[in-house]
């Protein structure tokens, strides 16, 4: 990501703030303070040029995260300053009052006036912290100004997003179901309605907002807004079992025109693969092996006498959570298997992630092309999913979970079948 | 050595008198009372608070090492990207058991070890109020801890995280028996905590030496008192939660089954109503220790004793009103979040008071940097960092960025390791000569201190960065794709943290080395002086290690820091301090007026039998309901036998005193 | 805690010999009060769980459908009466009247047993109506709450009977009146808890 001058300045400032807790960590002496100062300075330099982790909590990219940030950095500053003061005093005391053979000190039991003053002082600081805290809490719970609703459902170990038909988001005529990547219009106040199908998960895109738990049986709301088109990383943050670490997500913000394109694309009719092609064989293999859990909208079978039957997935009969990702437009998203692996090769992925806000939309809407497909991970996944991502999907584990799997079982596909399925999936764009 | 017939001729400084020869009566039908004064029986059936304290300490230290090994495995896994040292399932078991072990089987019982050993000595009592219940508590802790850890060999340990959030901890999502072992094991150790708490409260309130008013109590005793009150009210709440968990997993109830309409937040509320006071249960004992140690090595009284007492009580009280700050991301609604956010900030005030008072205690003092003092100063500094990072997530919106990330892991390790554990090590070095009559090596001690301080900062410091860079906790791996680059990259700091954990392990190893060096057979370590630190409180006004009856005569207390004030004369006008007596002289004077015949509560079989019947019932719940009946039968039998056994043996169980007088069954003090 | 009676660390049945505690309250009594304080939180947790879940049941198997208020009122009355007889036992013990102490302790235990018997009957009746422990959240939390209370009453009965048995052989260690008083404290506590449960569970409509 290329930082403009302003951007760079902000990052430098952030880095300065961020070093405070580390400074406070060490026991201080003058020499050590000097070393620390140098370290902190180098941290600023390094932090200024290098790219921080995608889930950095100190780089807000949307209004909500910005509100949190505006609240938290002064508090980190205050905490840092208090820490430095305490440590300096301790260091001073340790040096000044070490046993140099002085006589027994006066046996003073305390000075109540000083004590009371030193109790009131932190209380005042905390009042100063408390007031903006409370107002930010209520700001972030505001729901009257949101224009677009997306339902977010967590289950072991992936996220499903469904867009109810609405006039918000620039108009969505028919519901859309997708997973892994949450696509939102940029510069729009989006309201996420969060719930879960099995255990508690937590939805978190650090650069857009703080996290909120998704609790089965409850619906929580969370505001989302991104200032610019781009891709923002996130991860499930409530421990949810075996593959908690592999339950990631990404939010993708598109400007309104691109978002409309994306919506139109999601609602495109199903196109049957060309008869006799590898993809057509793949359609049959998919129908036989995958379609009982994974829905592809529009997929159907035709009996010899010409009767067309839609293929409907019944994941509720096979999976504990009762859901499996909808694959209708798999190749419009860049990730699979709980957004843990990329559908894009490293090179293509970097291009998307490093795109400027202006170029991003077009690049993202290209989806996954054949050249860009990361076939290695996808093949491994199709060969033996639980070996790649720990899940409860073996026969023995199935028996323990009431005869249903949690996650995707190993399907025992051979290489030919895998080739066919990949060819078929490549056309799901 | 339950029965002390102190020979008049043996001076107390030379240690306890020769064991008396006794012939016990049949105490209950068939079984004679245990009377062994040496060998394993003298430990297993003991009711002596000092022996129980030592056993608590040894077992807690063992579990500290177990939890430490678990921690090292976790750090090995996270040392590189996509670690494969542990499988996903094993990793989940590892962090669950690391937390469970450290909290319930190390920090809590280690505090109990110090409390058991020191409280009666600090308040001038000869034992606790209920010695057999004390023994029962220890054996429950051991039985529960072992029961919990047998799950490793019986299909896998608990894997739901120490907070065991529902419904992830339901049988459907965690089919192994690990969580059953966890729930039942914690019930058993909970009995230990509850009985221990009742016992210590009664001991502290009722058995103080004459003249020791509440505001003349040593500060450690005060903090232990606050903690025991927290336990009395917190343990039943987790007990309810654990019962619901057991009914859910073992008897098909649906308390947390969402498809039956249950609300998973019920568990969170129950757990954290217990869980937040628990945090103070963990750190307040250590606060008490450093509040003893800093004054001794500063040669000054604790600055603002009253403020420290009241701030401790305030922390204990406000600690009940902040549990939901663990749930800021749970979806509570803005009003609750705002209330709990502000309440949480309030608790920073009494905590800050403590830091200020410790610093001002050293101010103007004459600081003696023993290993114990270094650990105490280490606590002040390290805990301050944990406290300040705590303020950053008392701010609820900020917390929604930090909760469940490594930033929180950093925070509570600075609080618990920097608070409780450093406090314990300060306590080890300070009280070791008291408990064992030998000094630990100060040379190895310094190594121990610096390696632990460097190790802990290397281990937990980077976690601040890792967390703020967005790495969630309880994840079995991290990937390069989300690690970032440059100074703040997650990969580098994870490696630093892993290296640090091994430095920390070597630091802890130094302590074990020190103990071995001091106590090995060929050790040349001399006997510790009576008063090696020029201490201030009552526990130093007796032999080291103390005789079984603690004090030859119960001292009368005139001041806070009684021992100091007997040694020194303070000129109130000039502030001059003049030494007027040595510890030896004071002790000799006390011994001269010693009680002649002191009879202590007698050993008993029943506490240990009763305690070990509980895991039998536990296995019964999990494997075979018949075992519940067997265990229950033993429990009932042991209870009846216990009830019918007098706590002090019959007169006929004692050899007649040399001078032919009657026995004087002294336990409660006059005052 | 059937064993609290025995920890009096002073001489068996002799005069107190000048043993007083720092607060003046005996160790046993203080421990019992603390224990009961702890029990308050235990029942507090169980009652909260019940209050949260009392409305979560099938339409035809809720509290309003299955409770037999007159019956439970009777058994509650019996339990209340047992508190009265317990007071009589304590006062008899204070007057060192062994015969009457044993008599009232036995009556208290019998009244308690009647209450527990009523509870067993009630439970089986519910079970026959199809409301078992696992039927609904309401039933699980109802049986858990009242079951815990029933176990407390049962433990109390065992303590009372043990006290009578031991008293007859003259083997109660320490201050006999105090031992009876301690069991009485426990018994009254269990009664008071029942009054709260009865009000919240049976009397307040959902």
- pLDDT (average), residues A302-306: 89
Q: Is C55 on the interface with B (CB under 8 A)?
A: no
Strand partners, A300: A310
User: Which of B518, B541, B519, B517 minimizes the C-alpha distance to B530?
Assistant: B541
- pLDDT (average), residues B172-185: 95
- pLDDT (average), residues B171-177: 93
Q: What is the mean pLDDT of chain C?
A: 87
Can you spell out the DSSP letters for chain C? -TTGGG---S-SSS--TT---SSSS-HHHHHHHHHHHHHHHHHHHHHHHHHHHTT-S-TTSSHHHH--HHHHHHHHHHHHHHHHHHHHHHHHHHTT-HHHHHHHHHHHHHHHHHHHHHHHHHHHHHHHTT--TTS-HHHHHHHHHHHHHHHHHHHHHHHHHHHHHHHHTT---S-HHHHHHHHHHHHHHHHHHHHHHIIIIIIS--
Q: Is residue B312 a contact partner of residue B222, using CB atoms and an 8 Å limit?
A: yes
pLDDT of B572 above 90 = no
User: Which of B371, B440, C128, B478 minimizes the C-alpha distance to A245?
Assistant: B478
pLDDT of B18 above 90 = no
pLDDT of A7 above 70 = no
User: Cβ contact (<8 Å) for A99 and B348?
Assistant: no
pLDDT of A12 above 90 = no
Residues 6+ apart with CB under 8 A from A67: A136, A139, A140, B397
> Predicted confidence band at A365 (pLDDT cuts at 50, 70, 90)?
very high
Q: Which of B133, B198, B648 would best serve as a mutation to test chain C binding (most C beta carbons within 10 A)?
A: B198
pLDDT of B667 above 80 = no
> What backbone phi and psi angles, to 5 degrees, belong to A171?
95, 115
pLDDT of B24 above 60 = no
Q: Is B113 on the interface with C (CB under 8 A)?
A: no
Q: Is residue A72 a contact partner of residue B395, using CB atoms and an 8 Å limit?
A: yes
More confident residue, A186 or B593: A186
User: Which of B199, B236, B262 is nearest residue C137 as measured by Cβ atoms?
Assistant: B262
Tokens of C204: 């307040």
Which ipTM was obtained for this model? 0.90
Alpha-helical regions (H) of A245-308: 256-266, 278-289
Q: Cα–Cα–Cα angle for A159, A161, A166, nearest 5°?
A: 165
- pLDDT (average), residues B385-411: 95
Q: Is C136 on the interface with B (CB under 8 A)?
A: yes
Q: Is C86 on the interface with B (CB under 8 A)?
A: no
Q: Is A334 on the interface with B (CB under 8 A)?
A: no
- B479-496 residue pLDDT tens: 999 998 888 999 999 999
- pLDDT confidence of residue B37: 72
How many residues are there in chain A? 429
User: Cβ contact (<8 Å) for B488 and A26?
Assistant: no
| Among chain C residues, CA nearest to B271 | C45
Can chain C be said to touch chain A, i.e. do they have 3 or more Cβ pairs within 8 angstroms? no
Can you spell out the DSSP letters for B178-246? HHHHHHHHHHHHHHHHHHHHHHHHHHHHH-PPTT--GGGS-HHHHHHHHHHHHHHHHHHHHHHHHHHHH
Q: Is residue B456 a contact partner of residue B382, using CB atoms and an 8 Å limit?
A: yes
Write down the residue that tokens 């004679």 correspond to: B32
Percent of chain A with pLDDT strictly greater than 90: 78
pLDDT of A178 above 70 = yes
Strand partners, A213: A202
Q: Report the distance separating Cα A231 and Cα B582, nearest Å.
A: 74
> What backbone phi and psi angles, to 5 degrees, belong to A179?
-155, 170
- pLDDT confidence of residue C20: 73
User: Which of C30, C44, C45 is nearest residue B202 as measured by Cβ atoms?
Assistant: C30
Q: Is C7 on the interface with B (CB under 8 A)?
A: yes
- pLDDT confidence of residue A27: 44
Strand pairing category for A190-196 and A148-155: parallel
User: Which of A71, A93, A238 is nearest residue B363 as measured by Cβ atoms?
Assistant: A93
- C133-175 residue pLDDT tens: 999 999 999 999 999 999 999 999 999 998 998 888 776 666 7
Q: Cα–Cα–Cα angle for B632, B634, B636, nearest 5°?
A: 70
- pLDDT confidence of residue B670: 24
Q: What is the mean pLDDT of chain B?
A: 89
Give me the residues of B, 620-649, that contact C with CB < 8 A. Answer: 639-640, 642-648
Tell me: cis bond preceding A111? Omega within 30 of 0 counts. no
> What backbone phi and psi angles, to 5 degrees, belong to B548?
-60, -30
Q: Is C168 on the interface with B (CB under 8 A)?
A: no
Q: Report the distance separating Cα B216 and Cα B233, nearest Å.
A: 26
Alpha-helical regions (H) of B251-370: 265-298, 305-318, 334-362
Tokens of B357: 């008072």
Q: Is C36 on the interface with B (CB under 8 A)?
A: no
Tokens of B371: 């290993």
User: Which of A98, A115, A406 is nearest residue B307 as measured by Cβ atoms?
Assistant: A115
User: Cβ contact (<8 Å) for C49 and B255?
Assistant: yes
Q: Report the distance separating Cα A331 and Cα A327, nearest Å.
A: 8
Q: What is the mean pLDDT of chain A?
A: 89
Instruction: Quickly count: other Cβ atoms within 10 Å of residue B251's Cβ.
Output: 12
pLDDT of B31 above 90 = no
Strand pairing category for A335-336 and A341-342: antiparallel
User: Cβ contact (<8 Å) for C141 and B236?
Assistant: no
Query: Helix B305-318 crosses helix B219-250 at what angle (to 10 degrees)?
Result: 10
Q: Which of C9, C50, C134 would best serve as a mutation to test chain B binding (most B beta carbons within 10 A)?
A: C9
Q: Is residue C35 a contact partner of residue C202, using CB atoms and an 8 Å limit?
A: no
User: Cβ contact (<8 Å) for C45 and B237?
Assistant: yes
- B226-251 residue pLDDT tens: 999 999 999 999 999 999 999 999 99
> Predicted confidence band at A23 (pLDDT cuts at 50, 70, 90)?
very low
- pLDDT confidence of residue B119: 97
Can you spell out the DSSP letters for B639-660? HHHHHHS-SS--GGGSPPPTT-
User: Cβ contact (<8 Å) for A87 and B377?
Assistant: no
Burial, B338: exposed, middle or buried (Cβ in 10 Å; 0-12, 13-18, 19+)? Answer: buried
- pLDDT confidence of residue B622: 95
- pLDDT confidence of residue A19: 41
Write down the residue that tokens 């410091």 correspond to: B461
Q: Report the distance separating Cα A380 and Cα A362, nearest Å.
A: 30
How close does chain A come to B59, measured CA to CA in Å? Answer: 31
Predicted TM-score (pTM) of the model is 0.91
Give me the residues of B, 244-273, that contact C with CB < 8 A. Answer: 244, 247, 251-255, 260-263, 266, 270
User: Which of B177, B178, B180, B227 minimizes the C-alpha distance to B201?
Assistant: B227
Residues 6+ apart with CB under 8 A from A139: A67
pLDDT of C71 above 50 = yes
Residues of B whose CB is below 8 A from C7: 129-130, 132-133, 647
- pLDDT (average), residues B343-371: 93
Q: Is C170 on the interface with B (CB under 8 A)?
A: no
| Among chain B residues, CA nearest to C55 | B261
Rg of chain C on CA atoms, in Å:
19
Q: Report the distance separating Cα C138 and Cα C64, nearest Å.
A: 12
Q: Is residue A226 a contact partner of residue A208, using CB atoms and an 8 Å limit?
A: yes
Residues 6+ apart with CB under 8 A from C14: none
- pLDDT confidence of residue A10: 43
Give me the residues of B, 190-249, that contact C with CB < 8 A. Answer: 194, 197-199, 201-202, 205-208, 212, 232-237, 239-241, 243-244, 247
> Predicted confidence band at B38 (pLDDT cuts at 50, 70, 90)?
confident
Q: What is the distance in angstroms between the CA of the first residue and the CA of the last residue of chain A?
A: 27
- pLDDT confidence of residue B651: 53
- pLDDT confidence of residue B12: 36
Residue B352 Cα to chain centre, angstroms = 23
- pLDDT (average), residues C10-39: 73
Q: Report the distance separating Cα A296 and Cα A286, nearest Å.
A: 10
Instruction: Quickly count: other Cβ atoms within 10 Å of residue C73's Cβ.
Output: 13
- pLDDT (average), residues B466-475: 96
The secondary structure of residue B365, as a DSSP letter, is: S
- pLDDT (average), residues B186-206: 96
> Phi/psi class of residue A306: alpha, beta or left (left: φ > 0; alpha: ψ in -120 to 50)?
left
- pLDDT confidence of residue B649: 61
Residues of B whose CB is below 8 A from C15: none
Q: Is A97 on the interface with B (CB under 8 A)?
A: yes
Q: Which of C7, C17, C35, C173 would best serve as a mutation to test chain B binding (most B beta carbons within 10 A)?
A: C7
- pLDDT (average), residues C196-205: 91
Q: Is B601 on the interface with C (CB under 8 A)?
A: yes
Tell me: cis bond preceding B590? Omega within 30 of 0 counts. no
How close does chain B come to C38, measured CA to CA in Å? Answer: 5
Q: What is the distance in angstroms between the CA of the first residue and the CA of the last residue of chain C?
A: 35
């Amino acid at each position: 990501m290329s930082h403009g001058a302003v951007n760079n300045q902000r990052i430098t400032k952030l880095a300065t703030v961020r070093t405070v807790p580390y400074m406070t960590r060490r026991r201080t002496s003058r020499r050590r303070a000097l070393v620390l100062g140098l370290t902190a300075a180098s941290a600023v330099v390094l932090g200024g040029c290098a790219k921080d982790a995608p889930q950095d909590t100190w780089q807000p990219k949307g209004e909500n995260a910005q509100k949190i940030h505006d609240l938290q950095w002064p508090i980190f500053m205050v905490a840092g300053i208090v820490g430095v003061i305490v440590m300096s005093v301790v260091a001073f005391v340790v040096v000044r009052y070490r046993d140099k053979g002085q006589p027994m000190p006066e046996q003073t039991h305390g000075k109540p006036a000083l004590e009371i003053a030193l109790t009131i002082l932190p209380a005042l600081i905390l009042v100063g912290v408390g007031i903006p805290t409370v107002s930010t809490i209520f700001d972030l719970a505001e729901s009257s100004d949101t224009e677009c609703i997306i339902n977010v459902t967590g289950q072991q170990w992936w996220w499903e997003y469904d867009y109810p038909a609405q006039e918000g988001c620039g108009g969505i005529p028919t519901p859309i179901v997708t997973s892994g990547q949450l696509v939102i219009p940029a510069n729009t106040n989006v309201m996420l309605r969060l719930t879960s199908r099995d255990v508690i998960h937590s939805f978190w895109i650090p650069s857009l907002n703080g996290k909120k738990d998704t609790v089965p049986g409850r619906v929580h709301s969370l505001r989302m807004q991104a200032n610019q088109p781009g891709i923002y990383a996130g991860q499930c943050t409530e421990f949810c079992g075996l593959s908690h670490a592999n339950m990631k997500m990404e939010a993708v913000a598109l400007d309104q025109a691109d978002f409309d394109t994306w919506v139109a694309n999601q609602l495109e009719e199903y196109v049957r693969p060309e008869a006799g092609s590898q993809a057509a064989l793949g359609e049959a293999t998919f129908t036989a092996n995958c379609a009982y859990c994974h829905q592809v909208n529009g997929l159907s079978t035709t009996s010899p006498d010409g009767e067309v039957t839609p293929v409907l997935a019944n994941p509720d009969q096979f999976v504990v959570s009762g859901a499996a990702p909808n694959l209708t437009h798999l190749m419009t998203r860049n990730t699979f298997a709980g957004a843990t692996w990329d559908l894009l090769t490293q090179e293509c992925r970097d291009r998307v992630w490093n795109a400027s806000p202006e170029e991003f939309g077009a690049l993202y809407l290209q989806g996954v092309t054949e050249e860009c497909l990361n076939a290695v991970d996808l093949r491994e996944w199709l060969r033996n999913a639980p070996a790649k991502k720990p899940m409860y999907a073996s026969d023995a584990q199935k028996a323990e979970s009431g005869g249903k799997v949690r996650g995707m079982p190993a399907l025992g596909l051979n290489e030919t079948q895998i080739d066919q399925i990949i060819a078929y999936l490549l056309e799901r764009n | 050595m339950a029965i002390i017939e102190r020979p008049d001729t043996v001076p107390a400084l030379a240690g306890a008198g020769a064991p008396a020869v006794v012939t016990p009566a049949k105490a209950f039908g068939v079984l004679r009372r245990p009377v062994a004064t040496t060998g394993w029986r003298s430990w297993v059936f003991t009711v002596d608070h000092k022996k129980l304290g030592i056993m608590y300490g040894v077992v807690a230290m063992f579990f500290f090492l177990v939890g430490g090994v678990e921690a090292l495995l976790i750090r090995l896994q996270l040392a590189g990207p996509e670690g494969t040292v542990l499988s996903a399932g094993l990793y989940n078991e590892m962090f669950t058991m690391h937390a469970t072990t450290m909290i319930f089987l190390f920090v809590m019982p280690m505090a109990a070890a110090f409390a058991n050993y020191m409280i009666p000595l600090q308040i001038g009592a000869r034992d606790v109020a209920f010695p057999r219940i004390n023994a029962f508590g220890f054996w429950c802790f051991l039985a529960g801890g072992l029961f919990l850890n047998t799950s490793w060999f019986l299909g896998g340990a608990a894997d739901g995280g120490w907070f065991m959030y529902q419904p992830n901890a339901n049988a459907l999502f965690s089919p192994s028996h690990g969580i059953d072992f966890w729930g039942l094991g914690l019930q058993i150790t909970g009995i230990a905590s509850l009985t221990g708490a009742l016992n210590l409260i009664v001991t502290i309130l009722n058995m103080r030496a004459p003249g020791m008013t509440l505001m003349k109590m040593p500060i450690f005793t005060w903090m232990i008192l606050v903690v025991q009150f927290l336990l009395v009210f917190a343990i039943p709440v987790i007990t309810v939660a654990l019962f619901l968990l057991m009914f859910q997993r073992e008897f098909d109830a649906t308390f947390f089954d969402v498809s039956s309409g249950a609300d998973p937040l019920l568990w969170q509320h129950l757990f954290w109503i217990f869980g937040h006071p628990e945090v103070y249960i963990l750190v307040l004992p250590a606060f008490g220790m450093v509040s003893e140690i800093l004054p001794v090595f500063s040669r000054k009284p604790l600055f603002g004793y009253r403020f420290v007492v009241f701030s401790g009580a305030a922390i204990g009280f406000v600690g009940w009103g902040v549990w939901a700050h663990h749930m800021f991301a749970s979806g509570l609604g803005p009003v609750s979040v705002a209330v709990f956010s502000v309440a949480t900030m309030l608790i920073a005030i009494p905590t800050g008071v403590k830091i200020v008072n410790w610093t001002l205690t050293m101010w103007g003092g004459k600081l003696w940097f023993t290993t114990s003092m270094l650990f105490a100063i280490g606590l002040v500094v390290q805990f301050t960092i944990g406290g300040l990072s705590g303020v950053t997530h008392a701010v609820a919106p900020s917390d929604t960025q930090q909760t469940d990330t490594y930033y929180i892991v950093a925070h509570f390790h600075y609080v618990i390791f920097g608070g409780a554990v450093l406090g314990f090590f300060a306590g080890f070095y300070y009280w070791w000569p008291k408990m064992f009559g030998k000094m630990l090596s100060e040379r190895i001690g310094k190594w121990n201190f610096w390696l632990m301080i460097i190790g802990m900062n290397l281990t937990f410091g980077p976690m601040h960065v890792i967390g703020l860079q967005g790495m969630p906790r309880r994840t079995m791996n991290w990937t390069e794709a989300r690690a970032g680059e440059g100074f703040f990259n997650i990969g580098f700091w994870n490696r630093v943290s892993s290296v640090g954990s091994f430095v920390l392990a070597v630091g802890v190893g130094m302590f074990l080395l020190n103990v071995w060096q001091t106590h090995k057979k060929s050790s040349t370590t001399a006997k510790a002086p009576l008063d090696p630190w020029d201490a201030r409180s009552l526990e130093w006004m007796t032999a080291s290690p103390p005789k079984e009856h603690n004090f030859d005569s119960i001292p009368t207390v005139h001041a806070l820091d009684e021992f100091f004030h007997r040694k020194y004369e303070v000129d109130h006008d000039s502030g001059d301090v003049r030494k007027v007596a040595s510890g030896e002289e004071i002790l000799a004077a006390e011994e001269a007026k010693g009680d002649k015949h002191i009879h202590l509560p007698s050993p008993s079989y029943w506490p240990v039998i009763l305690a070990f019947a509980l895991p039998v019932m536990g296995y019964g719940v999990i494997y075979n309901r018949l075992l519940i009946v067997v265990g229950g039968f033993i429990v009932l039998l042991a209870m009846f036998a216990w009830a019918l056994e007098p706590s002090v043996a019959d007169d006929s169980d004692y050899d007649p005193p040399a001078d032919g007088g009657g026995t004087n069954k002294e336990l409660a003090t006059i005052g | 805690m059937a064993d609290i009676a025995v920890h009096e660390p002073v001489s068996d049945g002799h005069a107190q010999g000048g043993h007083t505690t720092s607060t003046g309250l005996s160790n046993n009594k203080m421990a019992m009060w603390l224990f009961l304080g702890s029990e308050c939180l235990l029942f507090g947790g169980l009652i909260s769980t019940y209050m949260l879940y009392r409305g979560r049941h099938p339409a035809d198997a809720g509290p309003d459908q299955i409770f037999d208020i007159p019956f439970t009122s009777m058994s509650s009355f019996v339990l209340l009466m047992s508190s009265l007889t317990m007071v009589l036992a304590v006062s008899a013990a204070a007057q060192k009247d062994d015969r009457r102490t044993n008599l009232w302790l036995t009556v208290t235990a019998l009244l308690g047993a009647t209450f527990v018997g009523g509870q067993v009957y009630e439970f089986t009746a519910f079970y026959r109506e199809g409301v078992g422990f696992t039927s609904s959240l309401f039933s699980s939390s109802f049986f858990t709450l009242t079951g815990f209370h029933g176990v407390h009453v049962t433990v109390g009965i065992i303590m009372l009977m043990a006290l009578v048995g031991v008293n007859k052989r003259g083997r109660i260690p320490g201050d006999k009146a105090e031992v009876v008083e301690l069991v009485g404290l426990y018994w009254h506590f269990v009664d008071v808890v029942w009054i709260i449960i009865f009000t919240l569970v049976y009397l307040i409509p959902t």
